[in-house]
Amino acid sequence: MSEQTGEDGHSIQEFSQQKNHLDNTEPTLAHPDKTLSRRNVLSALGLMSADTIAKRLFGKSHNEPPAQTDMSRRSTDAPVTSNARHIESTEKDTTSEKVFSAAQWETAMEKMVHSDNVQSVVLPDGDVLWVFGDTTKVKNTITEGAYGFPHSFMMRQKQGTLDFTPIHGKYGYDWQPVPNFSENKYFWMSTPIVDKGNVYVLGEQIEGVDPFKVTGTYMAELDAKTFEFRRWIKIPSGATGSTQWGGVTKGPNGWLISGSHKDGTKGRVGDLAEVPFGQLHDPGKWKVTDNTVDLSENIGATSGIMRTENGYAMYTKRGDEKGSQIACLEAATPTGPWKTVATQPVSGPPGTKTYAVAIHPEQAAPPGKVLVSYAMNPEKKGHDDLYHPGFTYMEKP
């Protein structure tokens, strides 16, 4: 590997030599393909203990309680009222809630967090939990430091509003909610699920920075009230061992989780996991069906799935970073056959790539539509203002 230099002036090789002397107190023993640069050595935050980072940067342990501040924000844009009731609402009635425009969503989110791979889930109290991947800024405060930035982040949304409250974590500059697996392995969050008083977040174990590689498929278990991390659970990843899980909905008898895996160098095909309610923690209860979405559909690494009047709908970024459309697919059953029924152009500001589509059916939307998010990532360094989720609405089939 050729030597690369981070923004702090240290090379990857220099950092590797330094981290050999660092302690590792985190416990040792689920994201789309990210071919973009991971900001080289800066993401090495996830490669050392939070205590080490805090002591080196601030002269004290990360376990000392942080100062609590009001991190909420309310959009001042005038919203409209929804008269729509989603069939798939994740047990949340949005009939009387306000509908915010896609621009209002993007503005509110950009002011709260600079991150990617955004997904959401309804909490037991009706609020919404949002989870993210690599995070470089929280409420206009930079999270990057001499050793990197958090590889995951969570915040709470007050029901029916654009009020967001960031959730402090014990790991990674006071924000990362889950520990790293070891000094050189960390977790990219993907799909959150609330089940039996727990929050489960599916994602991937990642090794290295730039280049990086996926080394496992895991699920983090957290308390649904306190968001305290409890444990790692290794979960099935299909016949190829490389399925990336990306979306979830409720089926008649359990959770339906959409995923995909690479089909050689040609593209991706879809997979589906079926898990009984209350059994997510037991890998033996997972039933995985491979190749549920054909290669010809050109789906992205992540796909949001939801129930509709006629069966099921799936939303995905065709070709991920290389594509220019979000596709809506439809099927009578979750195992397919799936066929594209609509597409919508998508692009970020000049100099960005888009990927990692997710849906948010728990949010109020115009009649017959669903809120769709996608990640935007600048192609060049120095443009972090472009690094945040984008939003749109799409028709439900």
* The pairing of beta strand 98-99 with beta strand 80-81: antiparallel
- How much of the chain is helix, strand and coil, in % rounded to 5? 10, 40, 45
Number of H helices, E strands in the chain: 3, 24
Closest CA to 72 of 133, 132, 155, 153: 155
Rounded distance, CA 371 to CA 369, Å? 7
Whole-angstrom Cα distance, residue 156 to residue 354? 24
The DSSP letter of residue 74 is -
Tell me whether residue 115 is in a domain. Answer: yes
**pLDDT values of the chain reduced to their tens digit, one per residue, 397 residues:** 333 333 333 333 333 333 333 233 333 333 333 333 333 333 433 444 444 434 333 333 333 333 332 222 222 233 333 333 333 334 466 767 899 999 999 999 999 999 999 999 999 999 999 999 999 999 999 998 766 789 999 999 999 999 999 999 999 888 999 999 988 899 999 999 999 999 999 999 999 877 889 999 999 999 999 999 999 999 999 999 999 999 999 999 999 999 999 998 789 999 999 999 999 999 999 999 999 999 999 999 999 999 999 999 999 999 999 999 999 999 999 999 999 999 999 988 898 999 999 999 999 999 999 999 999 999 887 678 889 999 999 999 9
- DSSP assignments along 131-176, one per residue: EESSEEEETTEE--BTTB--S-EEEEE-TTSS-EEE---SBTTTTB
Asked if the structure places residue 6 within a domain, the reply is no
Domain of residue 98: give its range: 12-59+79-395
Domain presence at residue 105 = yes
Q: Is residue 74 part of a domain?
A: no
* Cβ-contact 233, 216 below 8 angstroms: no
Closest CA to 213 of 1, 358, 57: 1
Contact at 8 Å (CB) between 53 and 147? yes
In the DSSP assignment, the letter for residue 8 is T
- Tell me, yes or no, whether 294 lies in a domain: yes
We report the CATH number of the domain holding residue 235 as 2.115.10.20
* Burial of residue 169, with CB atoms counted within 10 A of its CB: 0-12 exposed, 13-18 middle, 19 or more buried: buried
In terms of Cα–Cα distance, which of 129, 241, 135, 109 is closest to 188? 135
Residue 303 lies in a domain: yes
In a domain, 70, yes or no: no
**C-beta atoms surrounding 228 within 10 Å:** 13
pLDDT for 136: 93
Using alpha carbons, select from 300, 294, 311 the residue that is nearest to residue 372.
Answer: 300
pLDDT in the model for residue 173: 83
**Residue 379 located in a structural domain:** yes
Total domain count, the chain = 1
SS (H, E, C) 196-255: CCEEEEEEEEEEECCCEEEEEEEEEEEECCCCCEEEEEECCCCCCCCCEEEEEEECCCEE
Q: Looking at beta carbons, which pairs linking 275-279 to residues 24 or more positions away fall under 8 Å?
A: 277/195, 277/196, 277/253, 278/195, 278/196, 279/254
Measured from the Cβ of residue 363, the count of other Cβ atoms closer than 10 Å reads 25
Instruction: Report how far residue 268's alpha carbon sits from residue 246's, in angstroms, rounded to the nearest whole number.
Output: 13
Q: What is the pTM of this model?
A: 0.78
Q: Is 288 helix (H, G, I), strand (E, B) or coil?
A: strand
| Residue 5 in tokens | 């230099």
